[in-house]
Structure 1
């Protein structure tokens, strides 16, 4: 029997919002159109372990509240659900399951940049790994979902929890960690373009006080692009848990990732579209290279000396080495019919971060009211060295229909460029005050003071800049019934001037960006907790906005303000015994409120324009049907609205809708053979901006994989 207890998040709005009536490009001042295909949904299968409204989490609050108790929008995506749906990357897991999250990923962002609530990038949508933040402009780990226990998504400002940034939200990837329950599992897969996957995991007790967890995964393939479309990666996660008593636990973990993705920076637009004849061609140089190596070592300790006091400490060291050597810009020349390549960039990142976070949870009463508080501090030291061949000069031309990759051009020579040393400390506090049996007040406060020293390793100059920031939030939660919550909240946030660790001399005098959000919402469970729903409305305003200039790496401008307002809804339920529906939709309006820039000697205003890389409509639908004993089918629909690639909104990327499907057969209750089909309609779509404004990054075409999973 298919369990009715399955309840993963999904959509409240009609499915007409998910599959729009037309897939044609939206027309802007200069429309960018892609060749597109017009598109005119097991008995005895295990229940996905979705952690939803009634399950405590720590991404939206360190108080350990459930989403029902939290005055904010929170998604919790089960790792088991992610793997059942064939989502092998964190990017796919977040964008195909989370509410209102769209990918803006490119190799330059480590293939892990997102848009949420009208704001874009690694600063505005922060990435965490097991609750720990890496201070960087490029997040390259984690990338594989094999070792993921769950992914928690907090939408809206989160500076009060994690520091400057995160005005659009936070994505926290929580890995599998040791338990005293023994488990062994393995997975192997093969697919289109010679894709190969293998993964193993094991965990359980060593003795009465020690437990372990080890996960290893490796993926490789030839890729759908030619040439340089091949990829390979390795992820290794290991942890030891020491629990001598029920009130004390210590976990030592180390996570390592080595990722060499496809060396693809985009496809050139020819008369506003990517011709199908060029769809599979990668115009990068023959000796291109991309390599990311990350290592995270974390020591966590938690001690509850009394029922009213819990102490936690997290000490960590992370290192990240990144290599890029590519021709990143591609422009079609109509006069000659050739492709001009530019932005020949040879870049190395060498980063180390050492930090510690301590907090204490206190439970008691304040003026006779039940109260729970968290008080803590955090310190970080980040060393970041940037080696490059700026100003990334050089161009050449190639024939798009008789393509010869050629070699990398390095005019300036590669040498150390600059090094930054960032010291950051912060004090933070949270409180939940139970005013009545039905009404509670949740508040938070954070003060931080980062200090950045930048040393130019070429001319010997240096500068130092100190910042201070105060963030706070407050929200009321009213529960007329135990399974229903109504809430209203106000939150503030600060964004850095680009990114602290890459702060340049030109950005030194920029002010911190300030943001504020008002949100109201409702959420609840019904049908005895087997179904869930959420509904939220919000408005965010961000002042002193620092915006990157598309196609000009390292260049930023500080503009007046940007705002967004929207509604989000989700629904999850089992309509019938063997059916499940999970769906969500986000509709928003985002705009530059005050944005002036000098273009060709004249001041141009972009006020009222749609921000770059911000879709104003995002929706997901998953339908699962256990249609026979041991058999289950899943159909996924992902819709992303139109986006723009420039401030003037002259270059518009069309909306797109993707169909994915999975058919599972379970030879035994603990095994699964899956046939996975991606992009069923073989839609040609722009997944992101390319390396320059004249190109786009295309999403993968139709592909298929066969995967076998077993637990033992």
Structure 2
């Protein structure tokens, strides 16, 4: 059933709210003058994406505009994310050029793929320009798109700006901040799978020197598989104090508490997706996942003169993650074995891998920089920034890996999910302490109105200490295992030529580094090796046309990553000699057309491959690395039918991928269509009707193992009431 478990009480509450609010003040004569700061709820005839000459701090610490930066930078603003109805931050991020979701429960549902590289070790995640450190490949913050002001996507190596783990790119989530005028927003919605959400926020000035912003969001759903319930709460608050025009102090706190769906995927039957088991959840009945994150930051920005600016941000983040699931499922065919050789009773789903895991992580950090802007000669100027970045991460990993293995075979269609088997108990097994120190610099020289040269450098030292935790005689004992220091220097250089104020041509060479696994969880098998290294050559163009109503970008690139761990034969030692590469083209266009029409589109074609990689005696050279779609595309159409009615339709295309190094297990490509119809009850209130996956495409977002697909949401209908004041 596509629309099951609807709750009449929720529908009644929503209908009553619409009627009550819709019977308020009479509609103004002019509806939808959005973008003017008057709190209008529909954006009519106004560009939804920032223009190319808007300063952006993600692509450069000098705050260059996309026109001025020799790199690919895309931005999705928060209002557009919410108007499209994206349910999660990763869903919004994967609308950007070249970005695909590879989210699964093991990585916290947040991992991405970019430019031929995937996972938390190659696509870096940031909050307000501050990097997050994944633990065992897992990040669970931020939690809700309601809190987002915009998302910036910097494609290609970003290590020179943010450190290791960014060879494919960096994605920066910029959180909402106080506005110059008091403004508030609220939303309540209900829909398929008994999903319900409510969110509200308000912010503005308090006197002449103080401003604030507070937001809260709640979401719940029964899910699209059996026992697929989930819920989350997100809270945030910001205070900005500006005692003088040159000094600003920003204090921010965020809280997220997620209980995501305990669904680890649908097993294939005879190598195919069987629609009859589309709603089955093969996890145990008492499965659990919970992610709790708390973050606090204090930022000081001081601009004593037009030539000098100083910035410092100190931050603190705690993450508590908990799993208890039966995670692996496979179809036992007529041979009496799964595709991986695991034995079982023919005609059943073999369930295994009972894992109980807890992550306790704390991150402290401080980032400081000084920017100097100096005229050198008529038409020639220099901008230079230098700074330092320090982080300390403490991590404790707990598990129950000593428990008796839980394995059974169940009927694919009807079975008792049973309960989780834990004979050992979840307890600390190892802990790490990671100290990351870096110095960085960036410089831009403008040579007249058309030419500029941009360069950057970063030196980083990451020291990881690991302790193994044992319980001899039932008494905990922490034994020092090893200490490893990773030292890396990265740099980039680029040139920008602007033959016209509306056209920018650029070229760039950049280097980067990726950890072999996760920096904070370096294992004994990785301690003898260094980080993998990479470099990129990129060239591109950026164009603004139709008087700023249209934008287009084009980029071509090649990235090479060396230092993969390889084993030439089964008896050979592991060596750091492997290489992989990706080369491709990305394009994007956005234009506001006459008669209220607008279009945004982007597409990516790439060729990703292992150039030289052997493991366990198998040669994977020439194969496509796992979790990398080589074709991506997004199209969004907008029609402002009247000043009260707005329609949106979006197409997402993700090409075929593989889940293994040898490309024996293929995940088909897919295309889905989403749509929204909005009607303004008043200038400050609108009703949205949203449909997701209009044609009910059964597709895999990603894989959890070679024969286990995590399926996307089926066709779903939601209705929401939005208000702005």
**TM-score, scaled relative to structure 2:** 0.89
Distance 1:49 1:547, change over 3 A: farther
Hey, what does 1:371 align to over in structure 2?
382
Output aligned runs, 1:587-598, within 5 Å: 587-598=605-616
8 A Cα contact 1:43 1:627, kept in partner: no
Structure 1: unaligned runs, 5 residues or longer = 7-41, 549-555
Distance 1:546 1:112, change over 3 A: farther
1:110 to 2:122 alignment: no
Hey, what does 1:529 align to over in structure 2?
548
8 A Cα contact 2:432 2:521, kept in partner: yes
Output aligned runs, 1:507-526, within 5 Å: 507-526=526-545
Question: Any idea what the Cα deviations from partners look like across 1:159-191, whole Å, max 9, x if unmatched?
Answer: 000001110011101011123311111100000
1:572 to 2:583 alignment: no
Distance 1:44 1:495, change over 3 A: closer
User: Deviation of residue 47 (structure 1)?
Assistant: 2.6
Hey, what does 1:500 align to over in structure 2?
519
Distance 1:86 1:55, change over 3 A: same
| Higher relative contact order (CA closer than 8 Å, sequence separation 6+) | 1
Give the SS at the match of 1:67.
Answer: coil
Output aligned runs, 1:129-208, within 5 Å: 129-136=127-134, 137-208=137-208
Hey, what does 2:271 align to over in structure 1?
272
1:615 to 2:629 alignment: yes
The counterpart of 1:699, out of the listed 690, 709, 712, is 712
Output aligned runs, 1:171-570, within 5 Å: 171-227=171-227, 229-335=228-334, 336-366=346-376, 369-390=380-401, 393-458=405-470, 460-545=479-564, 560-570=578-588
8 A Cα contact 1:43 1:626, kept in partner: no
Hey, what does 1:24 align to over in structure 2?
none
8 A Cα contact 2:201 2:216, kept in partner: yes
Give the SS at the match of 2:219.
Answer: strand
Give the SS at the match of 1:91.
Answer: helix
Give the SS at the match of 2:141.
Answer: coil
Question: Any idea what the Cα deviations from partners look like across 1:71-97, whole Å, max 9, x if unmatched?
Answer: 00000111111111111211111112x
Hey, what does 2:27 align to over in structure 1?
none
CA distance in 2, matches of 1:277, 1:138: 32
CA distance in 1, matches of 2:43, 2:682: 10
Question: Any idea what the Cα deviations from partners look like across 1:659-690, whole Å, max 9, x if unmatched?
Answer: 00110101112222100000011111111112
The counterpart of 1:659, out of the listed 662, 666, 673, is 673
Hey, what does 1:14 align to over in structure 2?
none
Distance 1:79 1:511, change over 3 A: same
CA distance in 2, matches of 1:641, 1:682: 18
Distance 1:429 1:44, change over 3 A: closer
CA distance in 1, matches of 2:71, 2:77: 19
User: Deviation of residue 387 (structure 1)?
Assistant: 0.2
Hey, what does 2:50 align to over in structure 1?
51
CA distance in 1, matches of 2:565, 2:216: 40
Q: Which has the larger radius of gyration?
A: 2
8 A Cα contact 2:51 2:548, kept in partner: no
Question: Any idea what the Cα deviations from partners look like across 1:544-588, whole Å, max 9, x if unmatched?
Answer: 13599xxxxxxx995601100000111111232310010000000
Give the SS at the match of 1:681.
Answer: coil
8 A Cα contact 2:356 2:399, kept in partner: yes
Give the SS at the match of 2:302.
Answer: strand
User: Deviation of residue 206 (structure 1)?
Assistant: 1.6
User: Deviation of residue 152 (structure 1)?
Assistant: 0.4
User: Deviation of residue 2 (structure 1)?
Assistant: 11
8 A Cα contact 1:363 1:372, kept in partner: yes
Question: Any idea what the Cα deviations from partners look like across 1:51-90, whole Å, max 9, x if unmatched?
Answer: 2311111111010100000000000111111111111211
8 A Cα contact 1:2 1:44, kept in partner: no
Give the SS at the match of 2:280.
Answer: coil
Distance 1:536 1:3, change over 3 A: farther
User: Deviation of residue 328 (structure 1)?
Assistant: 0.8
Structure 2: unaligned runs, 5 residues or longer = 1-29, 36-40, 335-345, 471-476, 568-573
CA distance in 2, matches of 1:249, 1:456: 45
CA distance in 2, matches of 1:273, 1:4: 51
Question: Any idea what the Cα deviations from partners look like across 1:16-62, whole Å, max 9, x if unmatched?
Answer: xxxxxxxxxxxxxxxxxxxxxxxxxx998363542231111111101
Hey, what does 1:680 align to over in structure 2?
694
CA distance in 2, matches of 1:475, 1:366: 20
8 A Cα contact 2:45 2:640, kept in partner: no
Question: Any idea what the Cα deviations from partners look like across 1:215-245, whole Å, max 9, x if unmatched?
Answer: 0000001111102x00000000101000011
Give the SS at the match of 2:681.
Answer: coil
8 A Cα contact 1:580 1:624, kept in partner: yes
Give the SS at the match of 1:47.
Answer: coil
Q: How many residues align?
A: 663
Hey, what does 1:16 align to over in structure 2?
none
8 A Cα contact 1:345 1:388, kept in partner: yes
User: Deviation of residue 267 (structure 1)?
Assistant: 0.6
Hey, what does 1:649 align to over in structure 2?
663
Distance 1:4 1:438, change over 3 A: farther
CA distance in 2, matches of 1:653, 1:639: 13
8 A Cα contact 1:2 1:577, kept in partner: no
**TM-score, scaled relative to structure 1:** 0.91
Distance 1:204 1:72, change over 3 A: same
Which of structure 1's runs of 4+ aligned residues deviate more than 6 A?
1-6
8 A Cα contact 1:45 1:669, kept in partner: no
CA distance in 2, matches of 1:492, 1:43: 43
CA distance in 1, matches of 2:428, 2:125: 27
Distance 1:444 1:159, change over 3 A: same
CA distance in 2, matches of 1:194, 1:241: 39
Give the SS at the match of 2:682.
Answer: coil
Q: RMSD value over aligned CA atoms?
A: 2.0
CA distance in 1, matches of 2:500, 2:34: 20
User: Deviation of residue 510 (structure 1)?
Assistant: 2.0
User: Deviation of residue 461 (structure 1)?
Assistant: 4.2
Give the SS at the match of 1:480.
Answer: strand
Instruction: Report which stretch shifted further, 452-461 or 570-579.
Output: 452-461
User: Deviation of residue 620 (structure 1)?
Assistant: 0.2
Instruction: Report which stretch shifted further, 49-58 or 337-346.
Output: 49-58
CA distance in 2, matches of 1:670, 1:639: 34
8 A Cα contact 1:566 1:589, kept in partner: yes
Give the SS at the match of 2:160.
Answer: helix
Instruction: Report which stretch shifted further, 623-632 or 115-124.
Output: 623-632
